[in-house]
Structure 1
């Protein structure tokens, strides 16, 4: 009888990390990152949390619902008009301040600007999530001079610029090579390996076929030795695969997040926090990483 192999356990060089005062052991733990968009034009919620009071309330609720991290963004990845660093800071900084005052959850900010990163780190953010892969080298310097962790994401376009019909010779090899080079750049600028996370950038300058193959080949990304973040929630690859509009992609998103973890990811960035937390905690229990909340059945 052939026995199926177990889940992929990536060779993380430093799996145990202190992030925002919390201890994470990514050799046996999955972190759920909630998404709060303080933008009027986010791809998923179309401005539902653009108002400051709604953004703060949603961030606090995400922490209460069990999110390990809350990721706050003021500028969408998608192409669009320029937003100044001052305006971006005005969007995200009050949310960071309010959340830091209300909760000890890990606070992440989605930005590619060093000025914004410096302001939010000073206010309590402990993760900078750069979807441009350190487009501005000064961002690495800001993170290096702090205790913050940097998420380095694979993408090809300049910030907020279109990149039509992306092409790859080999999407797994190309993305892994790009991330390795950007991580080496971060190391050279003074960010230690213990404060680097990589994200293959599902759907970012990739079509659905690229993203599906990249998901299958996540072990190649995890083999770089850094914890892997998978931002799969409600993405277009889920909608196109299942023929589902944005409001009906939860099941597909949970399946994609679960598959990503089994293939090496250790952080999942998700919109529906309660469902995602339950799914990841169940997965941890199945993998033998956590005990059930209680045991009564057949005892």
Structure 2
């Protein structure tokens, strides 16, 4: 699929799209959360747009391993202020949330995509987004952020994740969601061991067989720290390498912290005849 419907935009996927992470959280695993401060958020947004971000992914609840849920009122307040401030910037706005109330408010405020780590499994989530025109990122997660890294197990991680995502796509389609609104995310680091993550990366093309675009988020994650031995603030090179490998294996969207470095690497990759 070369384009997807994404709210106000028809997103061209003929070249890889760089989605910039904009954390509004207090406890981001990378330490780059803006704590809901609008001035800090705006500095981050201006930086990533200058570096070439195609999309912004706004999150007000940390999904790092062990993270607790954020009160809905706090998440709503932070997301709404951010979307309202950014909707005139001319780039697609994705909101990272698993709460239907936040999804509804974000769409009404002008969000173009809902990025749900829970794959629209919460009661009312599918119904909330079905009648809209926003893009939907459907991610696989085993368990929940608070417990997901406690001995994750799969009979076959690639097939298990693929089957789960296919089932969620069927549920969305049954509710009337057009396929050209759906993006798949295997969920690197969400209830997976390091070995599971790299098996998913090796077999990433498997997820494209659904005929749907694939979004990948490996930026600065512990799977990269394990193989490089580097702390989270020194994983830019590894993150860029992982993004390039994902694109070579068919990823249409890469969700990253280091936009400029990722964009430079993709320019070199795209220049090869």
Same-fold status (TM-score > 0.5): yes
Cα distance, 1:46 vs structure 2: 5.2
Cα distance, 1:43 vs structure 2: 0.8
Aligned-partner SS, 1:157 = coil
Output one character per residue of 1:205-230: Cα deviation in whole Å (capped at 9) or x when no partner: 10111101110010111112110001
Structure 2 contact 216–255 (Cα < 8 Å) conserved = yes
Output one character per residue of 1:2-49: Cα deviation in whole Å (capped at 9) or x when no partner: xxxxxxxxxxxx3223434444332x3100000011111011125345
Q: Distance in 1 between matches of 2:146 and 2:172?
A: 22
Residue from 54, 60, 79 that aligns with 1:68:
54
Residue from 237, 251, 254 that aligns with 2:237:
251
Whether 1:90 aligns to 2:58 is: no
Aligned length: 272
Structure 1 contact 232–256 (Cα < 8 Å) conserved = yes
Partner in structure 2 of residue 148 of structure 1: 134
Cα distance, 1:65 vs structure 2: 2.3
Output one character per residue of 1:205-257: Cα deviation in whole Å (capped at 9) or x when no partner: 10111101110010111112110001010011011011110111111111111
Cα distance, 1:59 vs structure 2: 2.0
Structure 1 contact 22–106 (Cα < 8 Å) conserved = yes
Q: Distance in 1 between matches of 2:8 and 2:69?
A: 34
Structure 1 contact 141–190 (Cα < 8 Å) conserved = no
Greater mean alpha carbon deviation, residues 60-69 or residues 252-261 = 60-69
Whether 1:136 aligns to 2:122 is: yes
Greater mean alpha carbon deviation, residues 250-259 or residues 73-82 = 73-82
Cα distance, 1:277 vs structure 2: 1.5
Partner in structure 1 of residue 253 of structure 2: 267
Aligned-partner SS, 2:95 = strand
Q: How does 1:14-29 map to 2 (within 5 A)?
A: 14-26=1-13, 28-29=14-15
Rate the CA distance shift 1:159–1:235 in 2: closer, same or farther, 3 A: closer
Structure with bigger gyration radius: 1
Partner in structure 1 of residue 93 of structure 2: 107
Residue from 91, 113, 119 that aligns with 1:127:
113
Runs of 4+ in structure 1 over 4 Å off: 159-163
**CA RMSD of superposed structures (Å):** 1.7
Cα distance, 1:82 vs structure 2: 3.1
Aligned-partner SS, 1:223 = helix
Structure 1 contact 113–139 (Cα < 8 Å) conserved = yes
Cα distance, 1:77 vs structure 2: 1.2
Aligned-partner SS, 1:206 = coil
Partner in structure 1 of residue 267 of structure 2: 281
Aligned-partner SS, 2:197 = helix
Q: Distance in 1 between matches of 2:191 and 2:239?
A: 19
Aligned-partner SS, 2:126 = helix
For normalisation by structure 1, the TM-score amounts to 0.86
Cα distance, 1:163 vs structure 2: 4.6
Q: Which runs of no fewer than 5 residues in structure 2 stay unpaired? A: none
Aligned-partner SS, 2:265 = helix
Aligned-partner SS, 2:191 = coil
